Amino acid sequence: MAGWNADTAAGPLGAGTVTLVEGSSFCISMANGDIQSEHPHGVFFQDTRIVSGWVLTVNGQHVEPLGSEMKEPYRALFAGRVPRGDGYADSPLIVERLREVGAGIQEQVTLHNYSKEPAECVVSLKVEADFADLFEVKDGRVQRSWNHTRDVDGDSLTIRASWHEVRKGIIVLAPGADVSSDGLTYSLTVAPHSQWSCTFTAVPSTEGAGPTPPSFVHLDTDGMSASDRRRQEWVAKIPVVHVGNRSIERTLRRSYDDLGALRIEDPQYPDRVVVAAGVPWFMTLFGRDSLLSSQMAMPVDPSLALGTLQTLADRQGRVVDPLSEEEPGKILHEVRLDISSGLSLGGKSTYYGSVDATPLFVCILGEVSRWGFAKDTIAALLPHADRAMDWIRQYGDKDGDGFVEYERLNPLGLINQGWKDSWDGINFADGTLAEPPIALCEVQAYVYQAHMARAWMAYDAGDSVLGDELADLGAQLKKRFNEQFWMPDRGYYAIALDGKKRQVDACASNMGHCLWVGLVDEDKAPQVAERLMSPEMFSGWGVRTLASDMGAYNPASYHNGSVWPHDNAIIAHGLMRYGFVAEAQRIATALLEAAEFTDGRLPELFCGFARERFATPLPYPTACSPQAWAATAPILLVTSLMRYDAHVSLGGVWMDPELPTSYGDLHISNAPLAGGRITIDITQHKPSIQGLPDGITFHRGHRPSMKELVEQAGRITKAPQ
């Protein structure tokens, strides 16, 4: 998910950092609620830091933090106190800051006086706005010199800035305050055992003259804001889960909440909702991340995957542009909303440097086609799937060897263009970096699954000629892959082939993705499972990205020894596919236990130290949280162990649970299926489903895979007439 080559992570945000998110807006602050410009903090709106400083003082003193509580993903309550100046430890002045983020920031400040004497107070807020691009903040390179003006009009302060032809601004509102160009101030007396409140709001402004923008909160008569209303609608449409193991239940509910917060709307089609990659630096549409996250969330809300596909289809590559790495049929890597610094990938708002987003687009379309959407909705996306398949053949496999490789077109683009996209993410067993063009093992898995998915959709539409062609190409790829990537002396698959077609022989987690789609030959699967669960790979908290006996191993690296929840969820699903139930249970249980140490929220990644060495999973300092892959990982882990899946056009829903006894019984209501809502129960390992829509039958067993469906359809079309 990286957007930078030299280093995939920003500097640490600082201890006790609080992050709020709503749509594509987010806010990062210190533990007391202040935003300090010298840190990568701020209020971000459309990828621009519209507030770089937000510092509250009372009588010239900074508020001492006592604690904070996130009420919703977009709202938090901070508690602090005003330090005394007379040498006594306890202060009678307590400060509460109730903050909400949206298209800006709004904060209600309440000052409590617990003394029996009146308190003379001067409450001041200092606001700064540097209008830095998100890339500048993350990379610590805020170098542009904007021309700033600060204008006072009654109880509002307008900060405007210009840089070349770019104009930006914010309006800060504080009803009844004494406003100057330096800040906003209230002078007041708080009576004994009483309280006083004020409200500060900062929203983006436009250059043209017009009325002051209203607050983005818009409280209704029932006290709900627009964000509250949006969240309420989300909660009403997703499943309600009850698990005997309350820790697992908390993790699943936290996943649902975070997934809801990471939804963003396509500005051109507000009814389309897509999944942003993660907070803080990736609150935008990604190709790979958004596709995989929405696919893992399919049992919760399949419309997320459909919206993601439709939005990516609209931005599918049309021309060859080395600067942005766009090519005809290619699916984008990331979109940025309002970048003006030139630090974005390719120097443009849309960057296409991803080798796997394009085959994944076809894979996820195949998954979406199973969940009961209207046939014309799926049919409208098929031309885009075919253009993606054309890209795979014409641009993805430039040397014609049958594998899809990558080599960046722009020298400032991503060096590595798979999911391990840090500059040092792909290496040999001795630690030597692989040289491009690089053919990743998991990319071939996605390409194989794309062939299976498109073949099935062709058969399903009655196009047996296209179905046969794609099925044959997929079978050839599987044979070629198992011949050229398998290392019999090592007992595992190479992570890649390099530019000289040498096996990149590092033992990495990537091969688990090949299990996920069925690319691994049956006779090789036991060795792959054994290697993935070996002490070198399995940390006790999850499967490492790189084995501990490899030359590049570092448990505190981004991609060379860390543990990624989404990676593990995919591996667990693949293990279940091949019948390695105990191994999948072990991975799922370890990750769900890891979530207990972070209040039920799995981070983007954590360090790969062995569980025997550290009794808690050690955090990776700059991991995104919440992050879409990590938020959807518990959903995939549990549904994989449930063996729960649907295929509406086949008229079936399947389940054959293998949940560990420690999970307890499972009850899920309001689960979406074929336009209806069903209730799922697993009691003492026995499954049942109530409320099935007409035409849908429950089957105890595994759902036929795309490969199985393609093979069955092929046999039918080739049978003598």
pLDDT for 513 beyond 60: yes
Distances (CA, A) of 325 to 15, 406, 421: 38, 11, 15
Provide, rounded to the nearest whole percent, the portion of the chain with pLDDT above 70. Answer: 92
Q: How far is CA 719 from the centre of its chain?
A: 45
- Give me the pLDDT at residue 714, please: 79
- Give me the pLDDT at residue 169, please: 92
Least confident of 124-133, 340-349, 390-399: 340-349
pLDDT for 339 beyond 90: no
Encode pLDDT of 268-298 as tens digits: 787 888 888 887 778 888 999 999 999 999 9
Residue with tokens 């496999």, as numbered in its chain: 397
- What mean pLDDT is predicted for residues 695-710? 93
- Give me the pLDDT at residue 10, please: 47
Structural element, H or E, at residue 493: strand 492-493
What are the φ and ψ backbone dihedral angles of 383, each rounded to 5 degrees?
-60, -35
pLDDT for 1 beyond 70: no
Rounded CA-CA distance 706/454 in Å is 9
Q: Between 426 and 135, whose confidence is greater?
A: 426
With vertex at residue 628, the alpha carbon angle to CA 575 and CA 457, rounded to the nearest 5 degrees, is 60
Query: Which DSSP string corresponds to 219-258?
Result: --TTS--HHHHHHHHHHHHS-EEEESSHHHHHHHHHHHHH
Distances (CA, A) of 40 to 44, 173, 550: 11, 24, 34
- Give me the pLDDT at residue 379, please: 95
User: For residues 63 and 32, is the Cβ–Cβ distance under 8 A?
Assistant: yes
Question: 46 pLDDT band (50/70/90 cuts)?
Answer: confident
Least confident of 182-196, 231-245, 254-268: 254-268
Query: Which DSSP string corresponds to 542-594?
Result: SBBSB-TTSTT--TTSSSSS-B-HHHHHHHHHHHHHTT-HHHHHHHHHHHHHH
Question: 682 pLDDT band (50/70/90 cuts)?
Answer: very high
CA torsion through residues 435, 436, 437, 441, sign: positive
Encode pLDDT of 627-648 as tens digits: 999 999 999 999 999 999 999 9
Encode pLDDT of 533-588 as tens digits: 999 999 999 999 999 999 999 999 999 999 999 999 999 999 999 999 999 999 99
Least confident of 3-7, 90-94, 190-194, 514-518: 3-7
Rounded CA-CA distance 241/244 in Å is 10
Tell me which DSSP letter residue 393 carries. I
User: For residues 538 and 532, is the Cβ–Cβ distance under 8 A?
Assistant: yes
- What mean pLDDT is predicted for residues 385-410? 97
Question: 718 pLDDT band (50/70/90 cuts)?
Answer: low
Encode pLDDT of 131-172 as tens digits: 988 878 876 667 677 888 999 999 999 999 988 888 899 999
pTM: 0.90
Question: 217 pLDDT band (50/70/90 cuts)?
Answer: low
Rounded CA-CA distance 471/113 in Å is 74
Mean pLDDT for the chain overall: 91
- Give me the pLDDT at residue 135, please: 75
Rounded CA-CA distance 615/613 in Å is 7
pLDDT for 11 beyond 60: no
- What mean pLDDT is predicted for residues 517-529? 98
Q: Between 133 and 602, whose confidence is greater?
A: 602
What are the φ and ψ backbone dihedral angles of 32, each rounded to 5 degrees?
-90, 0
SS3 162: strand
Q: Between 225 and 181, whose confidence is greater?
A: 181
Q: Which residues pair with 123 in a beta bridge?
A: 58, 186
Least confident of 136-140, 404-408, 601-605, 693-697: 136-140
pLDDT for 57 beyond 80: yes
List, in sequence order, the alpha helices (H) in 75-199.
Answer: 134-139
- Give me the pLDDT at residue 424, please: 96
Question: 17 pLDDT band (50/70/90 cuts)?
Answer: confident
Least confident of 26-40, 130-144, 252-266: 130-144
